[in-house]
Amino acid sequence: MEDITAFYYKRIKASSDALNTIFLNDYHKFVDKEVLNLTPKQSILLDLLNEKPLTNSEIAKHFSITPSAATQLINKLEKKGYLKREINLNNRREIIVHLDEKGIEYNQLMLKFELHLIQKYYSKLSEKDLENLVDLQEKIYKIALEIQKREGN
Amino acid sequence: MEDITAFYYKRIKASSDALNTIFLNDYHKFVDKEVLNLTPKQSILLDLLNEKPLTNSEIAKHFSITPSAATQLINKLEKKGYLKREINLNNRREIIVHLDEKGIEYNQLMLKFELHLIQKYYSKLSEKDLENLVDLQEKIYKIALEIQKREGN
């Protein structure tokens, strides 16, 4: 079974790498050099903060990193104007991290880029294929979530 | 149709973002801080060079960036010991970019990490599901390739 899984995984990886290279070419037309140089973790954090502001310890917990590593991550993005710290008005001893102007712009750009990918590529799949793709993606996510829970993360 | 595509795309994105966060937690256990801070383009370049050495202009072409932007990308990774430049023995006026020690180590680590993902998560899918996932992924890749060709990239 392991060998079969490896065979399929290699094919998934090959096409997904190639697809990502095509998407990256499109991405270059949407964003400037600074955004291109954001690390995956920095991008994920900006995406997370788009849902709601978070405390330092919530951010540390999300990435399974130490609070001081989270502070470093926040500092770098704050210095560049992507996010800002504010006192929590409900608990004045707590600092909350919000998106700043460039962080808001970043998320608007990502939304625009997603719509671009939908219109240009995904809309060419049949509805049945799209449905299958969603189902499989959610299945592997549920498996991963289950395993993660069992590990106690 | 556009709305239906957007609906499925949002679900694909939601589960794939959540899945990537889980994989990222695993990733932290495999790599050190320096590797975590590589940008997506830097990681892709190291992956590409694992197949074969490339010239500066081949790298520029692959990412659709200018030769001087490619030089900057190469310089940064060369300085950190991930890759090195060598004179092409078949054409002494040409410089070829190879993986250096840390670049080789990086790719070995990525292979180990992939095997880990296969064993831990993907091997829990049925063979039929894996086959479907591969088919769909390759379908969307072929669509993207076709569109890219028509655009003349």
pLDDT in tens, B40-97: 789 989 999 999 999 999 999 888 889 999 999 999 999 999 999 999 888 888 889 9
HEC string of B76-99? Answer: HHHHCCCEEEEECCCCCCCEEEEE
Residue A2: pLDDT over 70: no
Residue A130: which of B48, B119, B13 has the closest Cα?
Answer: B13
Residue B141: pLDDT over 60: yes
- Quick one: pLDDT band at residue A83, thresholds 50, 70, 90? very high
Nearest chain B CA: its distance from A80 CA (Å): 16
Tell me the one-letter amino acid at B145: L
Residue B16: pLDDT over 90: no
Q: What is the mean pLDDT of residues A100-112?
A: 94
Q: Is the ipTM of this complex over 0.85?
A: no
Three-state DSSP class for residue A99: strand
Answer for the pair B4, A127: CB distance below 8 angstroms, yes or no.
yes
Phi, psi of A37 (to 5 degrees): -90, 5
Contact B12 A41 (CB under 8 A): no
- pLDDT tens-digit readout, A114-134: 888 888 888 888 989 988 988
Q: What is the mean pLDDT of residues B91-109?
A: 93
Q: What is the DSSP annotation of A28-45?
A: HHHS-HHHHT--HHHHHH
Residue B4: which of A89, A4, A123 has the closest Cα?
Answer: A123
Across the interface, which of A25, A47, A121 has its CB nearest the CB of B64? A25
Indicate the average pLDDT of chain B: 88
Chains A, B: CB contacts within 8 A come to: 179
Residue A103: which of A132, A82, A125, A76 has the closest Cα?
Answer: A82
Q: Which run of H or E residues covers position B55? A: strand B54-55
Rounded to whole angstroms, the Cα distance separating B121 from A144 reads 6
Nearest chain B CA: its distance from A125 CA (Å): 7
